[in-house]
Chain A
Amino acid sequence: MSGKSKLTVDVAIIGGGIIGTATARELSKYQLKVVVIEKEAEVGWGTTKANSGIVHAGFHEEPGTLKAKYCFPGNQMFPKLCEELDVCFEQNGILMVARNEEEWETVQKYYERGKERGVPLELLSGEEARALEPELSEDIVGALHAPEGGSVMPFELAAALMENAIYNGVELLTNSPVIGARVENGKKIVETPFNIVEADVVINAAGLFTDEIARMFGDDYFTIKPRKGEEYLFDLDTKNMVKRTIFPVPSKVSKGILVIPTAEGNLMMGPTGDNIDQKDDLATTRDGFQRILEGARSLVPGINPRKIIAQFAGVRAASDRGDFIVEHSPNVPGLIHLAGMESPGLTAAPAIAVDAVRLVEEAGMKLVPKEDFQPRRENIVRFRSLSREEQDRLVKENPAYGRIICRCEQVTEGEIIDAIRRGARTLDGIKFRARAGAGRCQGGFCQPIVMAIIARELNIPLEQVTKRGPGSEQVLFKAKELLAGGITQ
């Protein structure tokens, strides 16, 4: 314990997912000392990373639930939030489609539900829906159209929220899994391998591990039931095949298999919703792929699996309540749980963050607004989306923007250096923030070059460059090192 540095704060947020980072940014508007404690090398790498990225319209959720309470208000916050943070947000709209008369009745029920909440919605006939989306199945008899639904890159949003929070004074500890937590003289003590954090208020936003964090504090009253979702991402040349996110009529447990145009333009299909035992089970499966393909093709028959460039899985941090948990711990004063985050957690996050500030105040913290709060994040240069003249000007200002590193996504060295400056530390971090390696060759060409840039910028040897943090080093030995060790085959 003696080697650890001690940190005293007003509020400690455990977990740098979308909930933790949104809350950190919201709290950074006030004169509080706040720290975010994240177990991974970068923020947004748990459940957030594998989220479908849909900004839900707010018509799905069962009345009376917290999901319903936060979803539509969250949706309404996205345009301004993403504009302030310079995050890609496409308000491309959502279609929930009916494939038969029975489903059509259900669709109408959702229309009424959404209307009551004030969600802008319209009902379409099958022909009208196909006029909007010509690739839709001929079987579709009608659809619910929610024009204010959208698409965002979830990891980009989490990174942007954190970056802005840090700019406004929040501290971030990465590679810092919480290994112990307790209450001492009313103060909450949170221990990581490197730090001991003493806080007046702890916000438990640890996603899949919120139940375990609660138990560390002796607070054992909810359980996380991990539920896995697989996603399959298509080549960028599928752009515009479908413009709106296509939903089937939901089942009891999930919103179903969707066809999703991501904010970056690639088409995606998924997710599954399978209860699992292991919170770290991120394996994709053959069975999952087949179910997703079948589901997606029942909506958009022309989907071509040969265009898939990547697949991944994420685990939802669903609670045994079946709803969000946004509340004071009933047992530990000053401990706030933001747990049970499953869909529409991403959409709800900005609204939950606002409510979390209220809970912090209720927990006894005095909220004094900062006069110099900066809501805007320094704009990100995206070389590919600039005009030729703007590209030319940029390269003349900074030659690093004249070196294309990732040929598939046309990402420049300048953008990679900028991502590192903003907090990327790993290959995945570069991929998520700057898109180098996110394209059709999946880093086959640029990976060695990106690694060399990371090594140079962080001044570390190439063997220490990782895919996503310690243990995921990319090259394990220097050439000839295995021979020098006397290994013979």
Chain B
Amino acid sequence: MKQLFVDVAIIGGGPAGLASALAARAEGAEKVLIIERNHELGGILLQCIHHGFGLHRFKAELSGPEYAQRFIDQVKETDIEVLLNTMVLEVTSDRKLYAVNSEQGLMEISAKAIILAMGCRERTRGALQIPGTRPAGIYSAGAAQRFVNIDGYMPGKRAVILGSGDIGLIMARRFTLEGAKVEAVVEVMPYAAGLARNVVQCLEDFDIPLILKSTVTAIHGKDRLEAVTISEVDDKWNPIPGTERTIECDTLLLSVGLVPENELSREAGVKLDPVTNGAYIDDRMMTSIPGIFACGNVLHVHDLVDNVSKESERAGMYAARYALGKLDAPEKKVKVVAGRNIRYVVPQEISLDEPVEFFMRVQAPEEDVTLNVGGIRSKKENSVRPSEMLSIKLTPEQLQSFEGDTFVIEVLSNKEDEVSA
């Protein structure tokens, strides 16, 4: 078995892997290796041919492949090594990786630091337990996106989309532009799951109905999908009898959430956060296993790739420092706690002596609020939504004023009646 020794090994060559590799190399790690399962770098961005990437980072509206290419070009200018068509089979807690490809066979890679950047996968019909038959014609929105944008095939011509996640919204527009009819986007929540701009640009601009507080309650068809039944749901997401209606269609796309792909992390023994399904990390982007770092959608699901790049650069920098023996263990550990109307916060632990950028999501939409960050900073927001990630940066100087063991981040209402209540 072939043996390799590197400073920083990065699992995944998507946006997180690319940005972290560049940052690790820039920080001084000499042997940086990206391991990518696909035949080219770029990750899921390669099939995201729509525009809207890079507004924050590059002040330009790029397509997914264009955004990825800017990083790929930079990687090519460095001596960062890339293994393509290579699958990591196992990660161990003492930072060994086992990987395989056709040319080299099995490889044992010993790394001083590892960055987990495997991305996420889509939730499936099985996870939702949609009753009914099991015909052809039911795809995750991402699989359909690949069929159309990479392989050049249309799954069908009359679609219903369950879930208003961003990929579902994007695919509603994509199907329409390809000449298919999108009958409806059906969402169980009382609001869209995707970005507001995607609701406008992908549904409203094309007169595609968004049916809220409803879900697919039956699937019909023996060999190929023939129709779906949708029903309204109550506050607990239970279908309301008598509200059923059937929509004929040959295709059902599922855009019902993304799950970080942490099977390798779990087997290595990395502690996972049950809310994010990603690793539990500190302010150095390090997981519960020393020397193993995580960033991007494998850490928590992002809505903007710009944020992935930013977060991953920090992971790359700290991983390099760790590999070089320049990352001291923190003197103090303070737990970060999600308070009122906060679903999760990353990182989950801080040391108060590193700059930190908190990424967080709210539980429910709310207007006119103040984000209270550990009692040492606050920020007013006109409106917060679960689909739009919030972030706030704090410097070590700002953090020095914090005292206590738990750092609570919460959303406070600015409406007077609720303040008094």
Question: Footprint of B on A, CB under 8 Å?
Answer: 232-233, 237, 280, 282-286, 288-289, 305-306, 308-312, 388-389, 391-393, 395-396, 399-400, 402-404, 407-408, 410, 440-445, 447-448, 452, 462-463, 466-483, 485, 487-489
Contact yes or no, B126 A479, CB < 8 A: no
Contact yes or no, B131 A482, CB < 8 A: no
Q: Given A395-B100, A447-B143, answer yes or no on A479-B153 (Cβ-Cβ < 8 Å).
A: yes
Give chain A nearest CB distance to B43 CB in angstroms. Answer: 12
B296 within 8 Å of A (CB atoms)? no
Residues of B contacting A284 with CB < 8 Å? Answer: 129, 131-132
Q: Given A233-B126, A286-B131, answer yes or no on A399-B222 (Cβ-Cβ < 8 Å).
A: no
Question: Footprint of A on B, CB under 8 Å?
Answer: 1, 37, 85, 87, 89, 98, 100-106, 108, 121-122, 124-127, 129, 131-136, 139-140, 142-143, 146-148, 150-157, 176, 178-181, 206, 217-219, 222-224, 239, 250, 263, 266
Residues of B contacting A393 with CB < 8 Å? Answer: 105
A479–B151 alpha-carbon span in the complex (Å): 9
Contact yes or no, B121 A444, CB < 8 A: yes
Contact yes or no, B143 A476, CB < 8 A: no
A482 CB contact (under 8 Å) in B85, B104, B180, B218: B180
Contact yes or no, B129 A311, CB < 8 A: yes
Contact yes or no, B154 A482, CB < 8 A: yes
Contact yes or no, A448 B143, CB < 8 A: yes
Q: Given A289-B129, A392-B1, answer yes or no on A407-B37 (Cβ-Cβ < 8 Å).
A: yes
A448 CB contact (under 8 Å) in B85, B147, B179, B266: B147
Contact yes or no, B153 A475, CB < 8 A: yes
Give the one of A237, A311, A399, A468 with max B CB within 10 A: A311
A–B Cβ pairs within 8 angstroms, 11 of them? A280-B222, A282-B133, A305-B129, A308-B127, A310-B124, A444-B122, A468-B223, A472-B223, A473-B136, A478-B153, A483-B178
Closest 7 CB pairs of A and B: A482-B179, A471-B223, A402-B102, A399-B102, A392-B106, A475-B153, A467-B136
Q: Given A285-B131, A392-B105, A479-B178, answer yes or no on A444-B223 (Cβ-Cβ < 8 Å).
A: no
Give chain B nearest CB distance to A47 CB in angstroms. Answer: 15
Give chain A nearest CB distance to B156 CB in angstroms. Answer: 5
Residues of B contacting A286 with CB < 8 Å? Answer: 129, 131, 217, 239
Nearest-neighbor residue (CB-CB) of B143 within chain A: A444
Contact yes or no, A476 B250, CB < 8 A: yes
Contact yes or no, B131 A283, CB < 8 A: yes
Give chain A nearest CB distance to B240 CB in angstroms. Answer: 13
Give chain B nearest CB distance to A315 CB in angstroms. Answer: 12
A107–B198 alpha-carbon span in the complex (Å): 60
Nearest-neighbor residue (CB-CB) of A288 within chain B: B131
Residues of B contacting A479 with CB < 8 Å? Answer: 148, 152-154, 178
Contact yes or no, B178 A482, CB < 8 A: yes
Q: Given A289-B129, A467-B136, answer yes or no on A444-B124 (Cβ-Cβ < 8 Å).
A: yes
Q: Given A447-B143, A475-B147, answer yes or no on A309-B85 (Cβ-Cβ < 8 Å).
A: no
A270–B33 alpha-carbon span in the complex (Å): 46
Contact yes or no, A469 B222, CB < 8 A: no
Nearest-neighbor residue (CB-CB) of B135 within chain A: A472
Q: Given A444-B121, A482-B180, A488-B179, answer yes or no on A283-B106 (Cβ-Cβ < 8 Å).
A: no
A469–B136 alpha-carbon span in the complex (Å): 10
Residues of B contacting A469 with CB < 8 Å? Answer: 223
Residues of B contacting A485 with CB < 8 Å? Answer: 179
Nearest-neighbor residue (CB-CB) of B124 within chain A: A442
A476–B102 alpha-carbon span in the complex (Å): 33
B157 CB contact (under 8 Å) in A232, A288, A391, A487: A487
A483 CB contact (under 8 Å) in B101, B122, B179, B250: B179
Besides A285-B131, A462-B153, A463-B153, 11 other A-B contacts (C-beta < 8 A): A233-B126, A283-B132, A288-B131, A305-B129, A402-B105, A403-B101, A466-B136, A471-B224, A477-B154, A482-B157, A487-B179
Contact yes or no, B179 A404, CB < 8 A: no
Give chain B nearest CB distance to A411 CB in angstroms. Answer: 11
B151 CB contact (under 8 Å) in A389, A400, A444, A462: A462
Q: Given A284-B131, A477-B154, A489-B176, answer yes or no on A410-B102 (Cβ-Cβ < 8 Å).
A: no
Q: Given A237-B266, A392-B106, A473-B224, answer yes or no on A478-B152 (Cβ-Cβ < 8 Å).
A: yes
Nearest-neighbor residue (CB-CB) of B219 within chain A: A283
Contact yes or no, A410 B89, CB < 8 A: yes
Nearest-neighbor residue (CB-CB) of B152 within chain A: A479
Contact yes or no, B151 A448, CB < 8 A: yes
Give chain A nearest CB distance to B230 CB in angstroms. Answer: 14
Give chain B nearest CB distance to A40 CB in angstroms. Answer: 11
Give chain A nearest CB distance to B244 CB in angstroms. Answer: 12
Contact yes or no, B126 A310, CB < 8 A: yes
Q: Given A388-B98, A395-B102, answer yes or no on A448-B146 (Cβ-Cβ < 8 Å).
A: yes
Residues of A contacting B156 with CB < 8 Å? Answer: 476-477
Residues of A contacting B222 with CB < 8 Å? Answer: 280, 282, 471
A391–B99 alpha-carbon span in the complex (Å): 11
Residues of B contacting A233 with CB < 8 Å? Answer: 126
Residues of A contacting B122 with CB < 8 Å? Answer: 441, 444
B100 CB contact (under 8 Å) in A310, A402, A471: A402
A442 CB contact (under 8 Å) in B104, B126, B239: B126
Contact yes or no, B154 A309, CB < 8 A: no
Residues of A contacting B176 with CB < 8 Å? Answer: 489
